[in-house]
Amino acid sequence: MINPDTTYHVMGLTRYVDDRDFPARGLHCVLFFSPVARGEVRGLDACAARKVPGVAFILTAEDIPGENQIGGIIEDEVLLAGDEVAFAGMPVAAVYAWTEAAAREAAGLIKIDIAEDTPVLDPREAWNRNELIAPARTFTLGDADAAIAAAAYVAEGRAESGAQEHFYLEGQACVATPSEEGNIHLSSATQAPASVQRAVATVCGLPMNRIEVDVRRLGGAFGGKEAQANAWACFAALGAQKSGVPCRMVLRRSDDMLATGKRHPYASDFTLALDGDGKFLAFKVMYYQNAGAAADLSTSVLERTLFHATASYYVPAVHATAASCRTNITPNTAFRGFGAPQAMFVFEAAIREASRVSGISAETLQRKNLLKTGDTFVYGMAAENDRAQRCWDKAYTCYDLTKRMRAIDEVRKREKDTGKASRYGRGYALMPVCFGISFSTIFLNQARAHIHVYTDGSVGVSTGAVEMGQGVNHKIREIVAESLGIAPGQVKLESTNTTRVSNTSPTAASSATDLNGAAALMACEMIKARLFKFMAGEYQCASRDFYLEKGGLYRKGSACGVSWAELVGQAYLSRVQLSAEAHYSTPDLHFDTSVGKGRPFAYHTCGTAYFEAEVDRLLGTYRIEKAYVVHDLGRSINPLIDLGQVEGGMVQGIGWMTMEEMRYTDTGKPLTATGGTYKMPDIFSAPLEMQVKFLADDYNHKAVKGSKAVGEPPLMYGIGAFFAIKMAAGCENAVYCAPMTPERLMGQLRDGD
Ligand code: MTE
Ligand code: QUE
Ligand code: MOS
């Protein structure tokens, strides 16, 4: 079943926010950003800028009619800087002009006088100065210190992972159109229309019912448009509100990369204790999260880090502490995996360190401690099945892993014995993933769907889900089509619109199909119940005897000779309601933040990846040769879409671990905030051979139609690439610093000489 969206993308017919015609009588907004990472603003000179022909007006903090506040979880983020700047790239003034070129020219003429302060860039330094977004949090299980004291082996070390730019192909964008009554319609590239609605209402000083946010689709988001689409929508709305004409705010790539947050870099200290057989006894960890200059979603990201502290393994005693540290870089934000990848990297580093200390191979330690049914996580929930182990074992049999690894081991041993290392080295790594599905913020686990059946039998579906390339629209289309027994082509997925479906959660946490698909299915059931009741009256029989299939009505195994369109037409003439709205909320979720225990996830998505890498030890360059995956998807709604998610997520994870690097000067100015200086993974950096197999025959009772969420978990497979490269290079040291760029690898290879 081919996703029709894909066809439009390939043909170049898909229209994103900035592809629609924008009226000549409309304003373009370009921002003036702080050139300095930290300091006090002494003066702003916009005289020359105002004189540029075509400039309509320039707004600064004091011109905001509502509140100058866009913080979501914590109200600590201003839209426009006032007396202080907190990161290079912080918006200071918004220029509105009749052409984008005029606005950009004017923004370039603005002068700012800042008393520069020394920025804090390192999260450990922020911690030492007690510059925190919120108090540190600790999750515990058992007595970690006692277990460490009694252990046969204790591995201690540090691990660091870097930032990651979302690099959605469609940049941040919003077009705001005012109406004569002072209402504002926004066409926004956001994962969170309700959040844009709330932010715009706050900044414009209007009630939420006057703001309509519409989202057709996004050209990629990956978490980067979850909280951070709000600011740009606010700038467009402010322009429209003040001028009464449409206003367009589209960030060019370099402004987007300068001003938007990335994946949070983390620095961590870990201790992993084992018994003589390699069973994990205790894990102690401290995470220093580089939150940037404002909270954004950092505290929620941090919580997901704590939830995934022990990754896919059972550890009976855990002490995990985490702090969101305030630094002078862009506020970091959601990125596929939402804090879990950072935690899993630390744990995998701890396993390699434990392997060095104990002499037991990493994959022996991994398999020995992999989660099995009944094992408790640090948050008190127990593993409900053995699918983590089944994926691991299936990877071994499907891909003949033992043989592959022994072949590489033999070469390595020969090199060691003879003392002659060849220029090219090979290595491998296994990477299991177990990712909790649901928003850990319980109230967000809700969704609504609104379905209209039109009198010709065609169907329109509105939900809170935002299509960003992950295929949620097509999955919901298939759910609805199957429920109504009609062809997917008869089902239209409407834009995501706050006026049609309100108070929606962001499309995030991999849960859009789980939540919105379930709501859509419920709405279908409501309409079907009414249709069957109506037909039961006509046929003088029980409504439960009916079902819909192949475009028609069936009763007790035989066709009634009434097509779907005829059924709908008759029901309409008899005044049967043909629309329904349903609300779904994930059952049985609870979490007590005061003790850090509960059931925050409906279920877990698991799998195992195996990587082989080859390193050129002279140049420090490498290739990921093989990536073999066994992934548990329950009963997939659309295996082709899910395969795309697994492959795409994994390659994105490999990029994060191996090549993507954000660098700053000592004064906090980004050095890599352009497409030309930031190295992105591309088709040449994808594994030369990629195979993905699904764990068959597993109906997941915790999600719609037995499926499992797929969006984020595969990204974490990419962590395996780091360790495969490390092994291939022969760098058996205690340095666990990602990304493993060729420069860094070359440095390590030279130091080893
Ligand atoms: N896939 C594509 N093509 N583009 C995206 O932006 N975002 C990812 C993932 N897959 C993304 C993607 C992220 S971060 C999430 S949370 C999920 O999709 C969100 O969609 P879902 O809940 O429908 O899986
Ligand atoms: C996973 C997620 C999110 C999350 C929790 C998860 C997420 C998100 C939020 C969130 C939390 C509090 C808020 C809010 C959003 O929590 O994406 O607006 O007030 O946005 O476990 O992906
Ligand atoms: Mo995804 S990081 O939850 O948008």
Pairing mode of beta strands 153-161, 173-178? unpaired
Does any ligand 1 atom lie closer than 6 A to the CB of residue 220? yes
Q: What is the CATH number of the domain that holds 544?
A: 3.30.365.10
pLDDT band at 752 (very low <50, low <70, confident <90, very high): low
Does any ligand 1 atom lie closer than 6 A to the CB of residue 470? yes
In a domain, 608, yes or no: yes
Residues 570 and 608 in one domain: no
Residues 242 and 311 in one domain: no
Residues 422 and 530 in one domain: no
Encode pLDDT of 157-191 as tens digits: 999 999 999 999 999 999 999 998 999 999 999 99
712 tagged catalytic: yes
Cβ contact 444:505 at 8 Å: yes
Q: Which ligand is nearest to the CA of 261?
A: 3
How many structural domains compose the chain?
A: 3
Pocket test for ligand 2, best of 300, 335, 445, 605 (most atoms within 8 A of CB): 300
Encode pLDDT of 540-592 as tens digits: 999 999 999 999 999 999 999 999 999 999 999 999 999 999 999 999 999 99
Pocket test for ligand 1, best of 474, 496, 510 (most atoms within 8 A of CB): 510
Cβ contact 153:272 at 8 Å: no
Give the containing element (helix H, strand E) for 742: helix 742-751
Assign 161 to helix, strand or coil.
Answer: strand
Encode pLDDT of 128-149 as tens digits: 999 999 999 999 999 999 999 9
* Nearest of 702, 441, 458 to residue 584 by alpha carbon: 702
Does any ligand 2 atom lie closer than 6 A to the CB of residue 338? yes
Assign 463 to helix, strand or coil.
Answer: strand
Rounded Cα distance between 199 and 192, Å, is 11
Residues 67 and 187 in one domain: yes
Pairing mode of beta strands 211-215, 184-188? parallel
Does any ligand 3 atom lie closer than 6 A to the CB of residue 509? yes
pLDDT band at 421 (very low <50, low <70, confident <90, very high): confident
Find the 653 Cα to ligand 2 centroid distance in Å: 21
With a threshold of 0.75, does the pTM exceed it?
Answer: yes
Closest C-alpha residue for ligand 3 atom 4: 223
Residues 98 and 205 in one domain: yes
Residues 520 and 626 in one domain: no
Q: Which ligand is nearest to the CA of 335?
A: 3
Pinpoint the alpha helices (H) of 378-517: 387-399, 401-418, 472-484, 512
Does any ligand 1 atom lie closer than 6 A to the CB of residue 463? no
Q: What is the CATH number of the domain that holds 83?
A: 3.90.1170.50
pLDDT the model gives residue 187: 98
Find the 244 Cα to ligand 2 centroid distance in Å: 34
Find the 377 Cα to ligand 1 centroid distance in Å: 26
pLDDT band at 753 (very low <50, low <70, confident <90, very high): very low
Last residue of a domain, one of 223, 250, 277: 250
Does any ligand 2 atom lie closer than 6 A to the CB of residue 306? no
Find the 222 Cα to ligand 2 centroid distance in Å: 13
> Does residue 84 register a pLDDT over 80?
yes
Last residue of a domain, one of 530, 554, 585: 585
In a domain, 418, yes or no: yes
Q: Which ligand is nearest to the CA of 334?
A: 3
Range of the domain at 498: 446-585
Pinpoint the alpha helices (H) of 60-174: 100-109, 123-128, 144-149
Rounded Cα distance between 239 and 250, Å, is 13
Find the 645 Cα to ligand 3 centroid distance in Å: 13
Rounded Cα distance between 168 and 236, Å, is 20
Does any ligand 3 atom lie closer than 6 A to the CB of residue 223? yes
* Nearest of 137, 702, 605 to residue 379 by alpha carbon: 137
Pocket test for ligand 2, best of 297, 470, 505 (most atoms within 8 A of CB): 297
In a domain, 535, yes or no: yes
Does any ligand 1 atom lie closer than 6 A to the CB of residue 221? yes
Assign 287 to helix, strand or coil.
Answer: strand
pLDDT band at 297 (very low <50, low <70, confident <90, very high): very high
Residues 367 and 429 in one domain: yes
Find the 345 Cα to ligand 2 centroid distance in Å: 21
In a domain, 233, yes or no: yes
In a domain, 194, yes or no: yes
Q: Which ligand is nearest to the CA of 589?
A: 2
Residue type, 673: A
In a domain, 135, yes or no: no
Does any ligand 1 atom lie closer than 6 A to the CB of residue 165? no
Encode pLDDT of 647-685 as tens digits: 999 999 999 999 999 999 999 999 999 999 999 998 888
Residues 326 and 200 in one domain: no
CA distances from 589 to 385, 407, 508, 580 (A): 18, 47, 17, 26
Find the 604 Cα to ligand 3 centroid distance in Å: 16
Catalytic residue among 77, 712, 732, 743: 712
What atom of ligand 2 comes closest to residue 303's alpha carbon? 21
pLDDT the model gives residue 6: 84
Residues 625 and 648 in one domain: yes
pLDDT band at 751 (very low <50, low <70, confident <90, very high): confident
pLDDT band at 122 (very low <50, low <70, confident <90, very high): very high
What atom of ligand 1 comes closest to residue 338's alpha carbon? 14
In the structure encoding, which two tokens stand for residue 162, read together? 């870097």
> Does residue 702 register a pLDDT over 50?
yes
Residue 693's Cβ-count burial label (10 Å; 0-12, 13-18, 19+) is middle
Last residue of a domain, one of 220, 250, 280: 250
Encode pLDDT of 524-543 as tens digits: 999 999 999 999 999 999 99
DSSP annotation of 588: T
Closest C-alpha residue for ligand 1 atom 9: 711
Dihedral sign for Cα atoms in the order 498, 502, 505, 510: negative
Does any ligand 1 atom lie closer than 6 A to the CB of residue 476? no
Does any ligand 3 atom lie closer than 6 A to the CB of residue 225? no
CA distances from 576 to 50, 361, 452, 531, 534 (A): 61, 67, 12, 7, 8
Per DSSP, what are the bridge partners of residue 623? Answer: 614
pLDDT the model gives residue 608: 98
Residues 489 and 516 in one domain: yes
Average pLDDT over residues 312-331: 98
Does any ligand 2 atom lie closer than 6 A to the CB of residue 226? yes
DSSP annotation of 368: H
In a domain, 258, yes or no: no
Does any ligand 2 atom lie closer than 6 A to the CB of residue 379? no
Pocket test for ligand 3, best of 262, 336, 652 (most atoms within 8 A of CB): 336
Residues 317 and 356 in one domain: yes
Residues 83 and 110 in one domain: yes
In a domain, 124, yes or no: no
Find the 506 Cα to ligand 3 centroid distance in Å: 9
Find the 594 Cα to ligand 2 centroid distance in Å: 18
**What counts of helices (H) and strands (E) characterise the chain?**
20, 29
Average pLDDT over residues 114-118: 97
